[in-house]
Structure formats: structure tokens, C-alpha cells
């Protein structure tokens, strides 16, 4: 297994070479390059190509243009739509889904979503109730129902695991990803970027301090850590507000030291044996504690200027703040996040303000960003104020989005994930479970896209006989991406005792503000940055 890169293929005495790729054009060019440089050396190798998750006409055309299409013995697809990411998390890892749906009007990702959901239903039973909000959600639901009709006659005989499916469009809640996530995992992602479950960290803090040797040679390679719930400590702290992580870590530290101290109490051989048997587990716990303490320290060092929070302040101050940020040449993405946030919260920017921002951004970061600004406008993140009333305050109040006193240490509301702001998407999910969307019809109408409810007939005999107190399970699918903080909020809801609902999360892509805005930019790596 090798990573795809330009030039010659790594030498190996093999007959068959299989390319396992996403259907993206730039990858086709690399493959073509691989094959053409290969041909000169050996001609006896067989090439195969597998597209994940679907073949693409354009890619095959590109291969044909490059004159290598004929070199492939097999061209096929590997249908892998939903990739299990964690115990309760599925992702399609489809980066461009949001851009394609809202900017390019390309609904292929929705088709893949529907296919993925059909597969999921084949494995875990037909989901009897489907709720949704937003244009894309509607389309996905329609496709699912149609696919089901096409398989009419093939009744699924599996007892359904999920009771409901909730499809949510990202553009129903554009605000949430713009703010900085304040959970532990969210912050790691915001600052260092979690990719495929791994994070790369600067190595200084992780240098092994061995006695005698001193720390002369610091490692220069970034430290790579795997992050998932398999690690006991991480599972415990990942969804906590960062302000509560310190306390949790010190508590854990005490427990571990106490456990190590117990060796002094071990008197009999049996006791010592028991202690020794626990040692590996304790060692692991200790090294995991050390790692997370280092990460927490690293995050703490990042100044608070980095954090974009969502709070009610007068727009006058916001204007000045953004202006100052531009003058300081803060990263463009941060500026864009701030500007978009102001636009979303106020149902658009005043014409004068918008022109001013545009001018400042273009002057400071380069004129080629006209294209980016244009894209943001098309995606609805940036818009001029129109005559219509700003209904964001109503939404905010009805859904209780801004909580004055968020308890970060012992949260009692989902707003803890953003230290006082509750993600709209999660509030919708919460209200759907109880008391139901009927209570907020007015607000739902203000949000973009239709909301709907569909039922799928289950074959008789598969209706769940629910026991008293048994939790219902809901699959929440975020079309266009979800942030770690939102996931944390849903996990919080699952844990709340009286919610009666457990959530499994699925999405097209795990995002944060930076990656999200980047996906909307044209040529984010332009030379001027």
C-alpha cells in the first residue's frame, strides 16, 4: 500500500498494481504520470483502478485524454459510502459536499448519501420515521423513498435499530461552524486539524525527559497521535468544555498516582501479583495522561485572540474589531469567518459595511479574492441586507440559542460546547425529540428550506416492542458537514438521563470553520498567502 504521488511507482516485484482513488481529476493526472513513466521500464505490469465510492465519467475521460485508459485491465468502483469513524459516528469524508450542493448545484453527494443510507438500512433495518429540514434533506429523503419503491418486493426482515432519521442541511445552521468550537476535541481540530482520526502536534512538549541524558536532541518530526474513544481518558474529556479539561486531568492524575502508591500497601505475594498484573494498564493510562496534559498546555498557550465567539454585541464594535483584525493582517480565514458571522446574524450586511469590508479585504489580502467573496455570496454566507426584517433575534430567542450562564464544568445545557452559544442544529434535534417540531413551526418557517416528515412502512412483526424506560435511537445526518462541538452536544444529549433518546451521528464530512471556508475558496493556496 503506497500513497499516490507523481513520478515513478515505487519499485516492487509485483505483477498487479491497483489504484484506489477518489474520483478527482488531479489524481487522474498523477496516475497518468505514474503509468507513462512506468511503461518505459517494465511493460509486464497489470494496472487496475478502483474508484471510491463511484466511477466518474469525467475521470475516465481525463484518463483517456492522457492516453492511459487502455492500460487498465479493470476499471471498477468500490462502493464505500459511510465510513465508521468512531463508536457513534459515521462520515462519508466527502470534503466538497457543501461546495457542490450549495455553490455548484451538483447533487451527486446527495445521491451518494441516499445510497449510503439505503445500505445502512439494509444492515440495520428500515428506519420507520424520517424527519428533515432543508432543500438537500428533502432531496435525499425523496431519493431514499424512490429507491425503496424500486426494490419493492424485497422486504427487509431486520428488526430496526434506529427509530428515527433526522436529515439536516448545513445551510439551516450556517452560524455554528463559523464560531470557534470550545470543546477539547473541537479546539484540537480548530488549532491543529484532526485528519482521519489523527492529529499532528508540534513535538517540543512531547520530548521524553530521561534522567541523565537531558533533552539535547528535540524531535523535529511532528508528533502524531490517534484520537478516538478507544482511549479511556480521551473518551472522558473529548467532549468537555476546554475550561473543564484541566480539572478533569488533575483528578485523573490523582487517581493514577494513588493507584501507583498502592504498591506500598501490598503486603502479601498475592497482593503484589495483583498489582503487577494491573501495571500495563496503569502505564498506558499514565502515558495517555501525559499526552493530553501536553496537548492541553499547547492549546492554552494559543492566545485567546484566536477564538471567535458568538456573543450579542453591538454591530458598531464588531465593525471596529473586524477592521482592526484586517489592519493586523490576521489570517484571511479568520476575517472571513467573522464577516460571514456578522452577515448571518444580521440577515445580511448593510451595503456600506459590505463594500467597506470587501475593499479592505481585497486591498490587504489580494484582489484575486474577489472570487472567494463571490463564492461566499453564492453560498449565502455573505449577503447584502435586503428590505426584509431580520428574524434572527426571533430565532435566537425562541430556540434559546444564547445562554447567559453556561456551566462549563458541569454542563446542564448543550450551550456549554460554545461557552454560551447553543448550536441551532442541535437545538432543532433536541426539540424534535421533545416536545416535537410542532411547537416551533414559526421558527422553522424562518429557516431556509422545507421541513417534512415521512414514514416508511415496516413489515408487520418488526414493530419494536419497547420496554419501559428503554431509549429510542436516532440517526442524525448532517448534509454538508458537522463540527466536533456539535457532535459533543449530541453526545451530551444522549447522556442526559431523561432525554430518552440516543443519537448516532452521520455526516458528509467532519468540518471546522477553517476547513469549511477553505472548501469554498478558489485556489486557497494562492502564492500571496
401 within 8 A of 427, measured Cβ to Cβ: yes
Q: Which residue lies nearer to other proteins by CB, 473 or 512?
A: 473
Chosen residue from 55, 205, 286, 472 binding other proteins by CB under 8 A:
55
Read off the C-alpha cell for 6.
Answer: 507523481
Distances (CA, A) of 170 to 140, 202, 370, 466: 14, 32, 24, 33
The reply on whether position 466 binds other proteins by CB under 8 A is: no
With contacts defined by CB under 8 A, name the span among 38-46, 151-159, 247-255, 298-306 that binds other proteins.
151-159
Does residue 119 belong to the site contacting other proteins (CB under 8 A)? yes
Residues in CB range of 206: below 8 A, 6 or more apart: 219, 223, 291, 294
Report 326-365 residues binding other proteins (CB under 8 A).
326-329, 355-356, 358-360, 362-365
Return the range that interacts with other proteins (CB under 8 A); candidates 118-126, 188-196, 411-419, 449-457.
118-126
Write out the binding residues for other proteins, residues 379-418 only, by CB under 8 A.
none
Residue number with CB closer to other proteins (446 or 458) = 458
Q: For residue 101, what are the contacts with CB-CB under 8 A and spacing of at least 6?
A: 107, 109, 110, 136, 479, 480
Contact region with other proteins (CB under 8 A), list: 54-62, 171-179, 279-287, 441-449: 54-62
Q: How far is the CB of 16 from other proteins (least distance, A)?
A: 16
Give the footprint of other proteins on residues 250-309 (CB under 8 A). Answer: none
Residues with Cβ < 8 Å from 100, sequence gap 6 or more?
Answer: 106, 107, 108, 109
Q: Which stretch in 12-20, 152-160, 234-242, 448-456 sits in contact with other proteins by CB under 8 A?
A: 152-160
Which region, judged by CB under 8 A, interacts with other proteins, from 157-165, 213-221, 335-343, 506-514? 157-165
Residues 6+ apart with CB under 8 A from 74: 48, 49, 50
232 three-state secondary structure: helix
User: At closest approach, how far in Å is the CB of 191 from other proteins?
Assistant: 23
DSSP tag of 62: H
CA dihedral of residues 349, 352, 356, 362 (deg, nearest 10): 70
Rule CB under 8 A: choose which of 161, 290, 399, 433 binds other proteins: 161
Q: Which part of the chain contacts other proteins (CB under 8 A), choosing from 105-113, 127-135, 192-200, 251-259? A: 105-113
Nearest approach in angstroms of CB 105 to other proteins is 4
Helices (H) and strands (E) in the chain, counts: 19, 13
* Three cell numbers, residue 194: 484532526
Question: How many residues line the site for other proteins (CB under 8 A)?
Answer: 80
> Residue 289 has which C-alpha cell?
495522561
In angstroms, the CA 511 to CA 524 distance is: 16
Q: Cβ 519 to other proteins, closest distance in Å?
A: 15
Distance of closest approach, residue 60 Cβ to other proteins, in angstroms: 5
Question: Is the CA virtual torsion 415, 421, 425, 428 positive or negative?
Answer: positive
Q: Which is nearer to other proteins, 62 or 252 (CB)?
A: 62
Q: Smallest distance from the beta carbon of 111 to other proteins, in angstroms? A: 4
What b/e sequence results for 151-185 when a residue is b if at least 16 CB atoms lie within 10 Å of its CB, and e otherwise? eeeeebeeebebbbbbbbbbbbbbbbbbbbbbbbb
> Least distance to other proteins from the beta carbon of 375, Å?
10
Q: Which residue in the set 29, 77, 236, 454 belongs to the binding site for other proteins (CB under 8 A)?
A: 77
Interface with other proteins (CB under 8 A), residue from 41, 279, 371, 457: 371
Q: Which of 5, 64, 400, 466 binds other proteins (CB under 8 A)?
A: 64
Note whether 123 binds other proteins by CB under 8 A.
Answer: yes
Judging by DSSP bridges, how do beta strands 129-133 and 451-455 pair with one another? antiparallel
Residues in region 124-143 near other proteins by CB under 8 A: 124, 139, 143
DSSP state of 421: B
Q: Which of residues 468-527 bind other proteins (CB under 8 A)?
A: 504, 522-523, 526-527
3-state secondary structure 450-489: CEEEEECCCCCCCCCCCCCCCCEEEEEEEECCECHHHHHH
With CB under 8 A as the contact rule, the residue among 56, 319, 456, 499 that binds other proteins is 56
Residue (151 or 198) nearer to other proteins, CB: 151
Quote the cell numbers at residue 410. 458541569
Segment 189 to 248, residues that bind other proteins, using CB under 8 A: none
Give the distance between the most distant pair of CA atoms in the chain. Answer: 82
Nearer to other proteins, 79 or 272 (CB): 79
Amino acid at each position: 500500500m503506497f500513497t499516490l504521488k507523481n513520478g515513478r511507482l515505487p519499485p516492487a516485484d509485483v505483477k498487479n498494481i491497483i489504484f484506489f482513488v477518489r474520483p478527482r481529476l488531479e489524481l487522474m493526472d498523477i496516475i497518468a504520470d505514474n503509468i507513462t513513466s512506468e511503461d518505459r521500464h517494465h511493460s509486464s505490469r497489470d494496472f487496475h483502478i478502483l474508484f471510491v465510492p463511484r466511477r466518474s465519467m469525467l475521470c475516465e475521460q481525463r484518463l483517456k485524454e492522457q492516453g492511459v485508459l487502455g492500460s487498465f485491465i479493470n476499471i471498477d468502483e468500490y462502493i464505500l459510502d459511510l465510513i465508521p469513524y468512531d463508536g457513534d459516528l459515521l462520515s462519508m469524508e466527502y470534503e466538497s459536499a457543501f461546495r457542490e450542493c450549495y455553490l455548484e448545484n451538483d447533487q451527486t453527494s446527495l445521491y451518494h448519501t441516499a445510497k449510503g443510507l439505503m445500505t445502512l438500512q439494509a444492515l440495520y433495518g428500515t428506519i420507520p420515521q424520517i424527519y428533515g429540514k432543508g432543500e438537500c434533506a428533502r432531496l435525499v429523503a425523496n431519493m431514499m423513498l424512490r429507491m425503496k419503491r424500486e426494490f419493492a418486493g424485497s422486504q427487509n426482515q431486520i428488526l430496526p435499530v434506529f427509530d428515527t432519521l433526522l436529515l439536516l442541511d448545513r445551510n439551516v445552521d450556517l452560524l455554528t461552524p463559523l464560531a470557534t468550537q470550545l470543546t477539547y476535541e473541537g479546539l484540537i481540530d480548530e488549532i491543529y486539524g484532526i485528519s482521519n482520526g489523527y492529529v499532528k502536534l508540534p513535538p517540543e512538549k512531547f520530548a521524553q525527559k530521561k534522567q541523565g541524558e537531558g533533552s539535547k536532541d528535540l524531535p523535529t518530526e511532528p508528533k502524531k497521535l490517534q484520537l478516538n474513544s478507544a482511549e479511556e481518558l480521551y473518551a472522558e474529556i473529548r467532549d468537555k468544555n476546554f475550561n473543564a479539561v484541566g480539572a478533569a486531568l488533575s483528578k485523573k492524575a490523582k487517581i493514577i498516582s494513588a493507584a501507583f502508591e498502592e504498591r506500598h500497601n501490598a503486603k502479601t505475594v498475592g497482593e503484589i501479583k495483583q498489582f503487577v498484573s494491573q501495571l500495563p494498564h496503569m502505564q498506558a493510562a499514565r502515558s495517555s495522561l501525559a499526552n493530553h496534559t501536553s496537548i492541553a498546555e499547547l492549546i492554552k498557550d494559543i492566545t485567546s485572540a484566536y477564538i471567535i465567539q458568538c456573543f450579542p454585541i453591538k454591530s458598531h464594535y464588531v465593525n471596529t474589531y473586524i477592521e482592526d483584525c484586517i489592519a493586523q493582517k490576521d489570517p484571511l480565514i479568520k476575517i472571513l469567518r467573522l464577516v460571514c458571522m456578522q452577515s448571518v446574524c444580521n440577515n445580511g450586511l448593510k451595503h456600506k459595511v459590505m463594500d467597506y469590508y470587501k475593499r479592505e479585504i481585497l486591498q490587504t489580502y489580494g484582489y484575486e479574492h474577489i472570487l472567494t467573496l463571490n463564492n461566499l455570496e453564492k453560498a449565502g454566507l455573505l449577503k447584502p441586507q435586503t428590505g426584509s426584517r431580520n428574524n434572527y433575534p426571533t430565532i435566537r430567542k425562541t430556540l434559546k440559542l444564547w445562554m447567559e450562564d453556561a456551566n462549563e464544568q458541569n454542563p446542564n445545557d448543550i450551550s456549554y460546547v460554545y461557552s454560551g452559544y447553543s448550536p441551532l442544529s442541535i437545538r432543532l434535534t433536541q426539540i424534535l425529540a421533545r416536545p416535537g417540531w410542532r411547537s416551533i413551526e414559526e421558527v422553522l418557517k424562518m429557516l431556509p428550506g422545507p421541513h417534512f416528515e415521512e414514514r416508511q412502512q415496516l413489515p408487520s412483526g418488526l414493530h419494536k416492542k419497547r420496554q419501559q424506560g428503554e431509549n429510542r435511537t436516532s440517526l442524525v445526518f448532517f448534509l454538508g458537514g458537522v463540527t466536533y462541538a456539535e457532535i459533543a452536544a449530541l453526545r451530551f444529549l444522549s447522556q442526559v438521563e431523561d432525554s430518552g433518546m440516543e443519537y448516532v451521528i452521520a455526516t458528509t464530512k467532519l468540518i471546522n470553520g477553517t476547513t469549511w471556508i477553505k472548501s469554498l475558496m478558489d485556489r486557497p493556496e494562492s502564492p500571496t498567502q
